[in-house]
Structure formats: structure tokens, C-alpha cells
Structure 1
Amino acid sequence: MVESLNVKGKTTSSIYLNWAKPEGNNSFYRVKWTDGFHTWNDSVTETSINVTRLTPGVNYSLTVQSVAGDNKTDSDVTQISSYTRPGIVLNLNLTEITTSSIYLNWTKPEGNNSFYRVKWTDGFYTWNDSVTETSINVTKLTPGVNYSLTVQSVAEDNRTDSDVTQISSYTRPGIVLNLTVAAVTTSSILLTWNQPEGNNSFYRVKWTDGLYIGNDSVAETSINVTKLTPGVNYSLTVQSVAGDNRTDSDVMQISSYTRPGIVLNLNLTEITTSSIYLNWTKPEGNNSFYRVKWTDGFYTWNDSVAETSINVTKLTPGVNYSLTVQSVAGDNRTDSDVTQISSYTKPDRPGNVTATWRGTTSLTVTWTHSGGKTFFTVDVSNDRLAYRNVSRTAGTSANVTGLAPGKVFNVTVTAVAGSLEHASDVFLFATCEFRLYLYSPPPDHDVFV
């Protein structure tokens, strides 16, 4: 009887046996094997045999007998059983990947097997599970991490397993958190966000105005997107990307208008006692309308126009107004820097201009006036003598002296707002000629023509 019968090696299609030569003589060895349904046999003179053409994952019972020289007399049977190795799993695929799971499936290998042993590792920790199906959803993973996953088919003895089939994959990185527009200029949008849970390598940023698309990649949790057009609505997206530079997160999206350009060449083209007409040049880029504000220092009014001009009305004569214009984007909120200009309205003409007293060399003039803070100039002139005397006052009367006696003078009172830039229409008071004696007589003796 042969001794020390051992399985020294096995594959998916073979089992290698060896044994010790028994005491005494023998001519050869008869080897038989069966899978429970079919039986095969062979004869060898050596103390080993490689039994081939077997089916993967099947339990074989193998017997060896030593046979004497008559080729009939044989020893007792020495028996051993062994599973062939199951076949390696085929077509291992990743069919769905999330931030916390990887779904695997594969094709059943040739031959038999009892179940599949699945292992996965992130390089530090290793986990495992067993399934009888040809798929598994590996869960409770960390976002953005590279996992190595292996699958083996296992025979019914729960020990004999196949070669390893391996695949690796990153889980999807987590979506970026708290995406915010931190600052906006006419040509840039500053984005910030919080790093998502888990790992990631960098962030992919894209932006579009609806016609053109720009993109960039950053390792930080912020980016200043530049070279944009003023007053345009941009859609911006941020994705975290794993270390393979391919696996990315869901998209986090935000939209923002750039600030419109500041209005150019703001001008005052016509000023009346109750209105100021403004016009300006359209700024570079886009805008929806213009916001106009004006104030007299106490009250503030506003209006919106789509054109590049406005006639600001219902103003008070002789008042200094500060006026601002801003261009506004299509969201009706994002506006440009302020362009400012100031101007007085024209003052009202003085009324009831009267000479309340006349002397030989002087004249007292009074008048009435309503409106804003104003000063007045009084002009007394004699055209024939090219004589002019100008008096400036903040009140509603003036005493003009140093006149030549016996001459005819024109008297003009002008209301002035600001610094003589917007004088009222000239009001001709009167033309009078009076004769002055060497010795000053009373005023009622003057002769007027």
C-alpha cells in the first residue's frame, strides 16, 4: 500500500499527486479519479502523477494502488480528495461609482464555485465580504479615495480559491460646499467655497456667458475669474476632482453678473430754473438701464431710464443739485460705480425792481426775489460815457455811489446762483436822465427826462 499520498499542487484543471514507494516490490501504480459522476484512470511507474483535464472548482476523489509484476495483484487503496482551483472571475467591471460606494460585477468563471470573496483596501485598511451573486455594491467608502478591489471565486471547501482578479477606482469626490460670490468687478468674479468631505486633488472651474466657455483648475478653495465683460451674466460651476484627474464630483453651480461699466462723459447740456438735462456715453459691455439720483442736500429723488439721457424736472430755482448716474445689470441689482456731477438751477428773475432813492451821485435800488440761495449784481451804466459800476450783494437792495451827476443811466439787477455761471435773464430796470447842480439841491428839484 502506498504511503504519504499528498496533493502537492493544483490548478484549475489539474491536481499533482505524489507518494512514498511501499515496502517490497511493485511493477507500477494504478491511479483513479472521479468527480462523483465520471471515473478516469491512469498508470505510472513513478511515485507521482499530474492528473490533468479536470474541471475548475470540482471536488475529485483520487486513489492510488501499487500493482505487482503480474499486472493483476494490487495493494489496498490509498485515497485522497481535493478540489481543483476555481476559475478566475471574468470581465470584472465598475458599473456605478458614488462618493461612498463602488458597484462591481463580473462574469461567472468556467467550472464550479461556491461563492466569491471580495476584498478592498485604501492602502491603510482592508475590508472583505462574501457573495454568491456575480456583483456587489461596496459601501461606506470615503469620497475621493483610491480603492484597490479584488475578487476570487472559492470552492465548496471554503478554502480553495482562484487567482485574484483586481481592479482599482477612486470614489467620486464630495461636492464643494458653500459656493459663494465673494467679490465682483467689471471684469472679474471672485468665488470661494469650502473643501468637501473626503479627499480630492484639485478643483475644476468653468464659466460661460451663454456663448463662450472658459475653464481653469486650482488647488485652493477660491478663484478670481478674470477677463470678463462688464454687465454680463455668467454661470459658474465648480467640481472637485480625484487624484486620477478624471473622477469628479457633482457640479456646484452659481451665477452672477459682473458689474456694469461706469457711465462716460456725463454732461449738463441744458439748465433752466426747474430742470437739468443730463446726457452721457454708454459704458463698455452690457447693462439693462441707468439709475439716476439727485439731491439738494436735504431730500433725494431718483429715476430709471433706458436711454443715455434724462431731463431732471420739478427742481427749485437757484439750488445746487448733486446728480449721480449708475448703469445697472440685468438682475436689477448689480450696479456700476457712481458718476457724479453737480449744478445750480438757474435762479428766478428779480421782480419789482425800483429806485427807492436818487441823489446827485448815488442811487438806491430794491427788488423782490424767491427761490434758492442767491446773490445779486447791480449794473449801472452810461453807454455814451462808457461808464459802468457793478455792485454785488446778498440782499434785495443796493446803494450805488460815485455816479456822474446829470447823466442818463441804465440799471440792471441780475440774480446769480453759484459763481456767476447761470445768471438770470437781464432785467432792464429803467433809463433815466437827471441833471445835477454844482450845489446839491434836494432830490425833488432834480429834473428828469
Structure 2
Amino acid sequence: MRDAGGSEPEIVKNLQTENITTPSISLSWEKPDGNASSYFIQILEVPSFNWTSITTSKIIEGLTPGNYYTFLVSAVVNNISGNSSVIACYTVPGEVKNLTTKDINTTSISLSWDIPGGNVSHYLIEMYGPEVLDFTVYTNSAVIGDLSPGNHYLFLVYVIVDGNTARGNSSDVSAYTFPSIVTNLTAEIISTTYVSLSWEPPVGNTSSFMIQVLHNSSYNRNVTSTSAIIDHLTPGNYYTFLVSAVVDDLVKGNDVNLSLYTKPEIVNNLQTENITTTSISLSWEKPDGNASSYFMQILGDPSFNTTSNSTTSDIIERLTPGNYYTFLVSALVNNIRGKNSVITNFTVPEQVTNLTAENITTNSISLSWEKPDGNASSYFIQILGDPSFNRTVTSTSYVISNLIPGNYYMLLVSAVVGENNVTGEAETTYTYTGES
């Protein structure tokens, strides 16, 4: 813009850029020495841009984010342009969009974002957490590793152009790394209806622990301690317990599991019946909850153990006549025994042998016999005749007196055991007293 008929204006002073944004740059300058009727503005990188301004400032809009621009401003008088004052700068780079975290684990977090409009030379990631670091990446994703489990991290991502001199506004996202797994999960107490669990806290941070019971979908419980009592369980049932560390009430680590059976309940209504000299029948009712079989212990002479598969009765054989036995019956699941239900009883004594009436007089009869197989604590003698009477003795002989001469008597002797006088089958003999 020249005209040979006039003098050239001076150069404008103090050309500056200010209020730089992604699509605009504000220019300002001072009037040159001498006269200037207007100002001519050019952008080297945009040849089509030519603008005349009568003021000493101008907002240049419609620019590309993160682009480098060179501005030339010259004073004009009577269509005569002076020398240009020159200034160059970048527009602010665009802001990344859709910044997202993904693939989070205990020690790393992956970031991804959409490439913004305009120019990008690289991205700056600032991380704030237990560690404060920054990273430069050249793609629109990054994996941030070597993090601490269960910690909160804030990530700011900037677009950078021209080294590090032109930086866009940050986009931010925050996330927790997953907590590590708890260790040494143990069932310290197992009862019929509750289980006491304990564990050690994981490496890193945790704010609470989530407990789940696989076989009870409604059970989800958060605790802040490293132990818990899980109650209202079914006796003899199989349970899998899952324990995981939690941070921020939402971010849950991987589960550690422990499977076990609760103890079966005690059997109900244990009874002895059909007692013989060498056998006793046991019966009982199924306990509350589950039981797959029953374990029986027989304490006495002989002592032994046996298992009954699923039935609630059994005949205990090969016992000693007249012996005292203690029977303990407990429910079983997966070889886990419940408490014993206990009952005691004697087997019936055997029959005495070789019962003999001897030394018979007019008013007395001497009886003798041999001890039966097994045990006998005393003997019960019945005399049926005139007179009739009973006697209990501890020896294997007895003289019956005060009888009537020439009378016929039936004599019965049976072995006896126990406080309740469990009596065996009687051995019998018949005889007359002598005539007077």
C-alpha cells in the first residue's frame, strides 16, 4: 500500500499480543511518531487476511487452536503504509475431550482421550496422589504404572505445542487404584449358626472390607475392622465367604474366598430300646439344619466307634451282657462333627447257670448257681409256693428257710445290674421240702 505522492508514516510502537485463547488473539500497539490515519494488519500464515483498523487494537478471531501466527501491523497515511511492526505467538492449544480412566488395577491406571481440534505436538500429564509426577506422551492414551494400591490419584492432561511454552487448559479425571487382596483369611471359630472370620489388611490403602456369602445372595456387609462374625447361618451347611478390600465405599479389590461347613446341630430325642443281653437299639431325630451321616461312640466293654449313613437309628451288637454303656451320637457333614447327644444304659444280664437245690430239709432249701457270662452285681430270688417271697443277694448261693414241710416250691434266680435293677431272664428249679 504505497503512493509516491506522500511521505511514509513511522513504525507503530509497542506491538503486543494479549488475551490469547484457542481461536483468538488480541493485538494492541501505540500510535507512531507523526501522523497515522489507520493501521494495516496482516497474518503471514493466512495470506488472505488483510484488515484495516482505525484504532490501536484489534481482536483477531477464527484462528486455529495451537497454531503459530505472525502478525504485521503498519501505520497508513493517505494510502501510504509505513514499515511493519512484527510479533508472533501461538494460540492456546485446544482442550482434550472425553478424558477417561480404564483398565484400572492395583498398581496402574490407563488414560485415554479424544484428540482436540487444532495442532498438538505432545501431551503433558500431571499426576497428584501419594506421588506427584508428570509425564510427556505423544499419543492420546497412556498407562500410568508403579502406583500404590487403594490410593486416590488426580490426573490433569494438557495439550502442548512449541516445546512447553504453549499449554492448553487442562482436562482432569480422578480415580482410585484397586486395593490389593486381603491375606491370611481364616475361620477362627466355627459353630452351628455363626463363623468368626479374621484376615490381615492388604498392602496399600483400604477404608473398609466387604464380606459376601455366596450361598446367601442377600448378605453383603461392610466392616472397618479385620475380623467379623457372620451369624444367622444354617447348621451343617456349606458356605463360601468372600472378603475384599474397599476404598471410597465404591472401589472394590479382588475377592479372597474361604469355603467351609458350619457344625451340625445336636441330634434330638436320643433313645435306647429293644435292649437284649448283647445288643441295644438306638434311635434319634434328625437335628435342625443339615446332616449327611451320624457318628456313634460306644464307651464300655468293648468300646468302639461306628458310622450310620443317613439313617436315624442303629442296632449296636456284640455287647457284653449286664454291662454299662455310654452312647454318644453326633451329626456329621463332610467329616465335621456336631456336639454329642449322650445316653447310658445296661445290657440285660445273661441267665445264671447250673441252678441247684440241695441240702433240702423239712423247712429249708439250699440254692446255688454259677455266675452268668458277662456282669452281674446281684441276684434276685423268687420263691413261689406257700409261703411265697423274694430275696436279693450278692453271692451265688442262698439258704431259704421257714418253709412248710412237704410243700412244693418253684425257685427262680435271675442276675441283676444297675441302680434301676435291670434283671435278666430267670433260671428255674422245682422241689419239695422234706416231710416232717
**TM-score, normalization by structure 1:** 0.89
Taking the aligned partners of 2:163 and 2:68, their CA distance within structure 1 comes to: 9
Question: What residue in structure 2 maps to residue 76 of structure 1?
Answer: 83
Q: Which amino acid aligns with 2:112?
A: N
8 Å CA contact 1:113, 1:156 repeated in 2: no
The answer to whether residue 57 in structure 2 is matched with residue 52 in structure 1 is: no
Using a 3 Å threshold, how does the CA distance of structure 1 residues 209 and 400 change in structure 2: closer, same or farther?
Answer: farther
How many Å separate the matches in 1 of 2:27 and 2:401? 143
Q: After TM superposition, list the pairs within 5 Å mapping 1:78-93 onto structure 2.
A: 78-93=85-100
1:125 shift after superposition: 4.2
Normalising by structure 2, we get a TM-score of 0.92
* Cα distance between partner residues in 2 of 1:230 and 1:301: 23
What is the aligned partner in structure 2 of residue 112 from structure 1?
Answer: 119
Out of 279, 285, 289, the position equivalent to 2:289 is 285
Residue 95 (str. 1) matches residue 120 (str. 2): no
Question: CA separation of 1:253/1:185 partners in 2, compared to 1, >3 Å: closer, same or farther?
Answer: same
AA of the residue aligned to 2:13 = E
AA of the residue aligned to 1:313: E
| Correspondence 1:228-377 to 2 at 5 A | 228-243=233-248, 245-296=249-300, 299-329=303-333, 331=334, 333-359=335-361, 361-377=363-379
> Which residue of the partner structure matches residue 4 of structure 2?
none
Count of equivalent residues: 426
1:422 match: 422
- 8 Å contact kept, 1:346–1:423: yes
2:75 corresponds, among 55, 66, 72, to 66
CA distance in 1, matches of 2:357, 2:47: 144
**CA pair 370-433 structure 1, distance change in 2 beyond 3 A:** closer
Residue identity in the other structure for 1:315: L
Q: Distance in 2 between matches of 1:3 and 1:186?
A: 93
Residues 412, 427 of structure 2: 8 Å contact kept: yes
Per mean C-alpha deviation after superposition, the further-off stretch among 232-241 and 373-382 is 373-382
2:160 maps to 1:150: no
In structure 1, the residue matched to 2:17 is 7
User: Does structure 1 retain, via aligned residues, the 8 Å contact 2:359–2:366?
Assistant: yes
Between 421-430 and 275-284, the greater mean CA deviation after superposition: 421-430
- Equivalent-residue separation in structure 2 for 1:93 and 1:8 (angstroms): 33
Q: Is 1:188 matched up with 2:190?
A: no
Are 1:388 and 2:389 matched, yes or no? Answer: yes
124, 135, 139: which one aligns with 1:133: 139
Relative distance call for 1:6 and 1:426 in structure 2 (3 A) is: same
CA offsets, 1:53-79, max 9 Å, x none? 110111111122222x2211x322221
Asked whether the equivalents of residues 276 and 312 of structure 1 are also in contact (C-alpha less than 8 Å), the reply is yes
1:224 alignment partner in structure 2: 229
- Corresponding letter in the other structure for 1:104: L
What is residue 214 of structure 1 aligned with on the other side?
219
1:27 aligns with 2:37: yes
- Contact 1:209-1:232 at 8 Å conserved across structures: no
Amino acid across the alignment from 1:129: F
Q: Which residue of 1 aligns with 2:8?
A: none
Shift of 1:163: 0.7
Equivalent position of 2:179 in the other structure: 173
Distance change >3 Å, CA 118–CA 408, structure 1 → 2: same
Whether the 8 Å CA contact 1:277–1:311 is kept in 2: the answer is yes
Structure 1 residue 402, shift from structure 2 partner: 4.9
Please give the alpha-carbon distance, in whole angstroms, between the structure 2 residues aligned to 1:80 and 1:194: 65
Contact 1:242 1:248 in 2 (8 A): yes
Query: Partner amino acid for 1:127?
Result: L
Unpaired runs of at least 5, structure 2 = 1-10
In structure 2, give the amino acid aligned to 1:201: S
Give the letter for the 2:66 counterpart: G
Paired amino acid for 1:70: N
Corresponding position of 1:409: 409
Mark the runs of 5 or more structure 1 residues left unpaired by the alignment: 437-449
Query: For the Cα contact (< 8 Å) 1:408–1:434, is it kept in 2?
Result: no
User: For residues 341 and 236 of structure 1, do their structure 2 counterparts lie closer, same or farther at Cα, with a shift above 3 Å needed?
Assistant: same
**How far apart, CA to CA, are the structure 2 residues paired with 1:6 and 1:384?**
147
Does structure 1 retain, via aligned residues, the 8 Å contact 2:406–2:434? yes
1:215-273 per-residue CA deviation (whole Å, 9 max, x = no partner) reads 22222222222112221112221222221x22211122222212212110000111111
Distance 1:277 1:324, change over 3 A: same
Aligned residues with identical type, % of pairs: 31
Say if 1:308 and 1:7 are closer, same or farther in 2 by CA, change over 3 A: same
C-alpha contact 2:40 2:75 (8 A) present in aligned 1: yes
The whole-number CA distance in structure 2 between the counterparts of 1:91 and 1:399 is 114
Residue 5 of structure 1 aligns to a residue whose secondary structure is strand
Q: Partner letter of residue 14 of structure 1?
A: S
Instruction: Say which SS state the counterpart of residue 271 (structure 1) adopts.
Output: coil
- The alpha carbon displacement at 1:118 in A equals 0.5
Match 1:160 to one of 162, 166, 189: 166
- Name whichever of 415-424 and 317-326 sits farther off: 415-424
Give, in whole Å, the separation in 2 of the partners of 1:157 and 1:351.
118
Alpha-carbon displacement from aligned partner over 1:163-190 (angstroms, at most 9, x marks no partner): 1101111111222222222222222122
The amino acid across from 1:357 in the alignment is N
Superposition deviation, residue 359 in structure 1: 4.7
Distance in 2, matches of 1:84 and 1:377, equals 120
Q: Given residue 392 of structure 2, which amino acid in structure 1 is its aligned partner?
A: S
| Cα 1:78/1:380, change in 2 over 3 Å | closer
